[in-house]
Structure 1
Amino acid sequence: MVTQQHNIHAVSSREVWGHAVANITPSAMAAVTVALVAIHGGAFTWLAYLVTGLLMLGVAWQMGILARHFPSGASLFSYLAHGLHPVAGLVAGFSMILGYGGALLAAPLLGGLFFAEALRLVIPAPLFATEILVALALAGISWHLARRGAELSTRWGLWIELFSLACILLLAFWVLWRFGLRDPAQTDWGQWQMKPFLQALVLSLLAYGGFETAGNLVGDARRPQSIPRIMLSSVFLVGGFFVFMAYVETLAFAHLGQTLAYSNAPLSHIARDLGLPELAIASDLAMFAAAFSASIATFNSISRIFAGMAERGVLPRPLARRHPRHATPSVALAFLAAIVLAGITTVALTHIRVLSLVDVFGTFTGLSFVLLYSLANLAATRYLFRSGNPWSWLSLGLALITIPFLLAVLWGTVSPWPGGGVGLAVLAFAATVAGSLTVGIVWARKAPQRLRRVLAMEPS
């Protein structure tokens, strides 16, 4: 029984927005993944992020419809159960656990990696040992903040994320001060080519994933009715950041006589070549801060998904238990902390390369986004048509545009078939979807009352 509920409905809209942005982790785009998009986008990388951002605004609008009409801390688990079918809710719930779980396992390890890189630029330090110790500390602090309450943890996450973005923007404005704003090559439309640009669109889509986690805080938000707007605004503002940074980084590499696509750490690369080691350190610390913020946000999101699914009898009931003082899903948080600890310990004992693991975990996250966003488009369109809403045709149009685009991302992930850990991750994800679908079909035939419990609305 909850004895104090001072943290319930105490999270401001600004902090919910920070939670959504932390789950998107925009710093990772500028620090790492922009180079992958630039392989195909070239001088038009900024345009790839712009076009994808406009498409993702459509997805966010569809998601907001579901969040408004089926509010739940379990987010897409409930959205799809009501908007499509309870079996779709089961598939979404387990897909979210796998997808967000990949992000949670990766975030502390990435934070440790970038902190160790920043430290190495200042003093000689044992790189791997530093990575592990920092990852453990980051995971422990993130768990503690999430356990103390959404208000405290989202506030910390917001300020940490703002610090991360400020470090990156500092370097970006330095580049513009040094080289100016104009780069004719980035608007030379005679050099634009359709096929590589489409590949750049596919790669840029995954940078936007995570905005929907604003819905996980519906039970903690001061103004839960603002969550659909927060989903839209987070995609809009992050999209602006992506377009700006893609333009600036492409401009910087052009002036330095190098190619963005060949850089593993573009921001550090720019700072070092400009003779600014301090900004190279700042860029690494920005990624550390982003990983810290993402760890807090994913602890908050997954624990509420666990609790929502447990309250409806899908997961073991103890996972729904709340902390007697802070009203947070403490058992779910403890379970997640144990998994993260086991993951970091495994890396420490086996000396697996962190970036190779991040590739595997990122596959889980990317595949879950593709599936969930496709189903959300279908659910929103179906709901609007069934309710006779005049916006239903717009919803259908958006679905017809975005779903093929999302399927192209899926095809790009599995063709050609990836080897090693990524290939195993694809198979594991497919098995999870097939398993949850099978459970749903069995329940529909033999235990329909269990599926009816999935449709239970969020406790007030």
Structure 2
Amino acid sequence: MTALSRAIARPDPVAGFGDRSPLHGLERRRIGIVDLAAQSVAAVAPAAAATTVVLLVAGVAPGVTVPAIIAAAVLSLCVARTVGQFARRFAAAGALYTYTARGLGVRAGLAAGAAILTGYAGVAMFALLGGAYYATYLLAGLWPTLNRPLVAAGALVVQAALVAFVLVRGIHVSARAALVVEALSVTLIVVLLGVLLVNIGPIDVGAMIGARSSFDPVALAAGAVVAVTAFVGFESAATLSVESVAPLRNVPRAITGTVILSGALYVLAAATQVAGFDALGIDLAASASPVNDLAAAYGLGGWGVVADVGITASFLACAIGTTTALVRVLFAMSRDGVLPAPVGRTHSRFGTPATAVAVALPVIAGVPLLLVAGGVDMRDAMHVTLSVGAAGYIVAYILVCVAAPVFLRRIGELTAGPAVTAGVAAVALTAALGAFFVHDALGGGSLVLVIGVLAAVFAAVIALLRRRHGPGSIGAYDEPVAAQVLGGVPSPRHPGDA
């Protein structure tokens, strides 16, 4: 017997490992790069965002819609590269919440957790409203006399039921279904946009870059913040890192790839819509469904209807992807002792955070239902939920960008590239968010008040949770267990056990 064979047969004991991971209960190492990419793509929902978010950007930055989307793409790529610094070093279901806690400590970690939960919840509500809006829009074309609020409410309930089923059943089903939906929807949108560009003819580049009017940096910044909402969710693959194969390699690839592909689609969509409405002499921001209107104007009405079907399905995929990430953050916070222990329980058969799903879905579906029942215009409701969600995302992005250099310095791996990327992203996002609030306030909007109230509530909750949690640390991540280590010996106690 060789020395290697003897070492394998009778390894020296290696102490200090637990008998189970702090995040036990999730299906570990079961999903591959395709499912990870599907999660991020579903949360971003590029087919839906390519049409709806461009319309929202045009509303706040009418002269610089395309530049605002390009700026948002660059910012999002910087954040994606920064998130990757954490994702390639450890696997954590809490993603940005855990990353920030590991870099800046308990208080900042709780703030990031509150922010990203707000982001996921707001965008999930936006996605459910968007799916209901487009479903109602499509049905109204067939039955003009239908009761739109009733149909919208029914669509919300059906979508919520589908989301609940898929989330409890498992990520394999949801990820693959979302990927198929998004692939078909994006392909359809790209083909339609290409045909429209050919029909539009020569493009006025001046109209595209806003050269016709005086440059308004505040509008550009506000538009960039709104445009960032088209990318938010790209980091959600990190919430599945515990469940993925080779997470330290695959998660960063899925995150960065999603931003690059989505950015290319959004620039194409923005250029087409700006050029098309400019050629028609119509205000883009006044359109109810820009791609549908352009298709009708250029004799492609049937394509527009099919595109709307794809957009509706894309919104549902977004709701699934975003809620998938949300419930895993709730799960991680429970395992850290921040939330009640039952929230961290998993389904005995499917290995999914079923209790967290039961906690989150009534809120995510209930708020849109109340808005529709209260007679709020669905487009206004979509704008508010998306804006609040975007603010939550951006605050979480800022915190994780601040945390990254601190974390890298602590482990002795800080270099100039990641530090500069994280610093530029943090400063630019902070400035853009401030400009967005100023733009909203000058326009008589109430988003600052809504977000201010939410911030005050979360600050109070964070203070209570911090007091409840005590001086200990948070930010549990997946760790090797004794059974996975040659000669591994379980410790008597594991600090991460729930």
Normalised by the length of structure 2, the TM-score is 0.83
- Equivalent residue for 2:167? 146
1:210: Cα distance to partner? 1.3
1:238: Cα distance to partner? 0.6
- Equivalent residue for 2:206? 185
- Equivalent residue for 2:459? 434
Q: In the aligned structure 2, how far is the partner of 1:50 from the partner of 1:288?
A: 25
1:273: Cα distance to partner? 1.4
1:174 to 195, 218, 222: 195
Higher relative contact order (CA 8 A, sep 6+): 2
- Equivalent residue for 2:36? 16
Larger fraction in helix? 1
- Equivalent residue for 2:435? 412
Question: Is 1:346 aligned to 2:370, yes or no?
Answer: yes
Structure 1: unaligned runs, 5 residues or longer: none
Q: In the aligned structure 2, how far is the partner of 1:299 from the partner of 1:199?
A: 26
Question: Is 1:34 aligned to 2:54, yes or no?
Answer: yes
- Equivalent residue for 2:156? 135
Query: What letter corresponds to residue 50 of structure 1 in structure 2?
Result: I
8 Å Cα contact 2:40-2:255 kept in structure 1: yes
- Equivalent residue for 2:185? 164
Q: In the aligned structure 2, how far is the partner of 1:350 from the partner of 1:35?
A: 25
Q: In the aligned structure 1, how far is the partner of 2:175 from the partner of 2:208?
A: 39
- Equivalent residue for 1:387? 411
8 Å Cα contact 1:150-1:220 kept in structure 2: no
- Equivalent residue for 2:425? 402
1:431: Cα distance to partner? 1.3
1:60: Cα distance to partner? 0.7
- Equivalent residue for 1:74? 94
- Equivalent residue for 1:109? 129
1:65: Cα distance to partner? 0.5
Distance change (3 Å), C-alpha of 1:65 and 1:276: same
Which is further off, 27-36 or 78-87? 27-36
- Equivalent residue for 1:364? 388
Q: In the aligned structure 1, how far is the partner of 2:289 from the partner of 2:209?
A: 26
Which is further off, 98-107 or 409-418? 409-418
8 Å Cα contact 1:25-1:294 kept in structure 2: yes
1:49 to 52, 69, 74: 69
Q: In the aligned structure 1, how far is the partner of 2:381 from the partner of 2:61?
A: 26
Query: What letter corresponds to residue 114 of structure 1 in structure 2?
Result: Y
Which is further off, 421-430 or 141-150? 421-430
1:72: Cα distance to partner? 0.6
Deviation sequence 1:226-252 (CA, Å, 0-9, x none): 101211111111111111111122222
Query: What letter corresponds to residue 76 of structure 1 in structure 2?
Result: L
- Equivalent residue for 1:89? 109
Query: What letter corresponds to residue 236 of structure 2 in structure 1?
Result: T
Q: In the aligned structure 2, how far is the partner of 1:138 from the partner of 1:263?
A: 25
Q: In the aligned structure 1, how far is the partner of 2:352 from the partner of 2:209?
A: 53
8 Å Cα contact 1:110-1:288 kept in structure 2: yes
Q: In the aligned structure 2, how far is the partner of 1:99 from the partner of 1:147?
A: 21
Q: In the aligned structure 2, how far is the partner of 1:161 from the partner of 1:115?
A: 17
Cα RMSD, aligned residues only: 2.8
Identity of aligned residues (%): 25
Normalised by the length of structure 1, the TM-score is 0.89
1:101: Cα distance to partner? 1.1
Deviation sequence 1:184-222 (CA, Å, 0-9, x none): 435789647543444543442332211111111112223
8 Å Cα contact 2:372-2:378 kept in structure 1: no
Matched residue SS, 2:84: helix
2:264 to 223, 240, 248: 240
1:229 to 253, 272, 277: 253
1:376 to 400, 403, 407: 400
1:103: Cα distance to partner? 1.8
Which is further off, 196-205 or 22-31? 196-205
Query: What letter corresponds to residue 88 of structure 2 in structure 1?
Result: R
Q: In the aligned structure 2, how far is the partner of 1:25 from the partner of 1:338?
A: 22
- Equivalent residue for 1:257? 281
Structure 2: unaligned runs, 5 residues or longer: 1-19, 481-498
Deviation sequence 1:389-409 (CA, Å, 0-9, x none): 252x22232233222221123
Which is further off, 59-68 or 255-264? 255-264
Deviation sequence 1:38-81 (CA, Å, 0-9, x none): 35655653333223312321111111111222421111121111
Deviation sequence 1:347-402 (CA, Å, 0-9, x none): 454333322222332232111122111111111111222333252x2223223322
8 Å Cα contact 1:27-1:164 kept in structure 2: yes
Question: Is 1:201 aligned to 2:224, yes or no?
Answer: yes
Deviation sequence 1:328-364 (CA, Å, 0-9, x none): 0111112222223433543454333322222332232
1:326: Cα distance to partner? 0.2
Distance change (3 Å), C-alpha of 1:329 and 1:189: closer
- Greater gyration radius: 2
